[in-house]
């Protein structure tokens, strides 16, 4: 336990540029305090001691604003930055050197028994306000953007953003743990693709009107069929749009 606490202490200086000295970390970092109290309560939980582990967890929540169930398994070198509003469920597993920002929830999706919370691999970064829900596996070196909601398993070396969360990088360009400004906007990309498609269709319709070919009658018939509720096959094959609606690979 002591080696794990030392790793938790040292990683603060690697992940937080505001950390200036050891005394400041020991006295003023709620994430470190919450993890230290969790290490002890988790040890008591594994011994089968009743009540006391939950009481310590509740006390840690009161002091730090971070709620970690004593049954959760937290790896070494984990850093909870700021931490207010972080919730980690009973069967959650957090791998070594994960970085968790404020407002993150590692929760369940129902009242099922057994393993019902997510498992995070090593070096995972979970942005502020992100929600990872259910018994799902998050691979190593995954980056989850702020405000994302992840409901499906994510392979290693991916970047996930959006609601629901979508993979936007898979073993691609490396994103630094603190550089959240470089995360792409998948919704904006899809809207841009749709706008480009609409503009292209408008040009085609204008050309058809000018040519006054029989094709115009076919297009009008298609519009009429759609207005009557008849099924019209969509010919849009834009990859970005398809991936957006299909979950972008998750």
Give the CATH number, domain containing residue 40. 2.160.10.10
Q: 233 falls in which pLDDT band (50, 70, 90)?
A: very low
Q: 200 falls in which pLDDT band (50, 70, 90)?
A: confident
- Residues 174 and 204 occupy one common structural domain: no
Beta bridge partners of 133: 107
- Residues 13 and 127 occupy one common structural domain: yes
- A 10 A CB-CB count for 18 gives 8
Domain boundary among 133, 161, 182: 182
- Residues 227 and 207 occupy one common structural domain: yes
**Mean pLDDT, residues 193-199 taken together:** 81
How many whole angstroms separate alpha carbon 179 and alpha carbon 170?
A: 17
**Mean pLDDT, residues 171-189 taken together:** 58
How many whole angstroms separate alpha carbon 159 and alpha carbon 107?
A: 20
- Residues 30 and 126 occupy one common structural domain: yes
* Residue 223 lies in domain: 186-246
pLDDT digits (tens, 9 = 90+) for 106-131: 998 877 788 999 999 999 999 999 99
Parallel, antiparallel or unpaired: strands 158-161 and 143-144: parallel
Q: 3-state DSSP call for residue 180?
A: helix
Closest CA to 33 of 75, 73, 82, 76: 82
Would you say residue 191 has pLDDT above 80? no
Higher pLDDT, 95 or 221: 95
- Residues 24 and 129 occupy one common structural domain: yes
- Residues 144 and 198 occupy one common structural domain: no
- Residues 138 and 190 occupy one common structural domain: no
**Number of domains, the chain:** 2
How many whole angstroms separate alpha carbon 194 and alpha carbon 167?
A: 20
Domain boundary among 182, 205, 226: 182
Under a CB-based contact definition with an 8 Å cutoff, are residues 126 and 98 in contact?
yes
How many whole angstroms separate alpha carbon 32 and alpha carbon 82?
A: 10
**Mean pLDDT, residues 89-116 taken together:** 90
- Residues 122 and 214 occupy one common structural domain: no
Q: Residue 93's pLDDT is what?
A: 95
- Residues 140 and 218 occupy one common structural domain: no
Under a CB-based contact definition with an 8 Å cutoff, are residues 113 and 139 in contact?
no
- Residues 135 and 156 occupy one common structural domain: yes
- Residues 202 and 93 occupy one common structural domain: no
- Residues 102 and 119 occupy one common structural domain: yes
Domain boundary among 128, 163, 182: 182
**Mean pLDDT, residues 212-236 taken together:** 56
């Amino acid at each position: 336990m002591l080696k794990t606490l030392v790793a938790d202490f040292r990683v603060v200086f690697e992940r937080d540029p505001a950390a200036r000295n050891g005394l400041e970390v020991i006295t003023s970092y709620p994430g470190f305090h919450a993890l230290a109290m969790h290490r002890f309560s988790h040890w008591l939980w594994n011994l089968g001691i009743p009540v006391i582990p939950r009481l310590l967890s509740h006390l840690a929540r009161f002091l730090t604003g971070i709620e970690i169930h004593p049954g959760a398994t937290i790896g070494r070198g984990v850093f909870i930055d700021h931490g207010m509003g972080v919730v980690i469920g009973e069967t959650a597993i957090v791998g070594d050197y994960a970085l968790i920002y404020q407002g993150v929830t590692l929760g369940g999706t129902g009242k099922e028994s057994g393993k019902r919370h997510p498992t995070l691999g090593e070096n995972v970064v979970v942005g502020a306000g992100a929600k990872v829900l259910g018994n799902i596996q998050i691979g190593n070196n995954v980056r989850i953007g702020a405000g994302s909601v992840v409901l499906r398993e994510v392979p290693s070396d991916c970047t996930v953003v959006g609601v629901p969360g979508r993979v936007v990088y898979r073993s691609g360009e490396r994103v630094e743990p603190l550089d959240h400004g470089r995360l792409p906007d998948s919704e904006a990309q899809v809207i841009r693709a749709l706008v480009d498609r609409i503009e292209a269709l408008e040009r085609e319709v204008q050309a058809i009107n000018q040519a006054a070919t029989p094709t115009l009658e076919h297009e009008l018939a298609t519009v009429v069929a759609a207005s009557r509720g008849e099924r019209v096959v969509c010919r849009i094959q834009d990859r970005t749009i398809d991936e957006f609606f299909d979950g972008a690979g998750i």
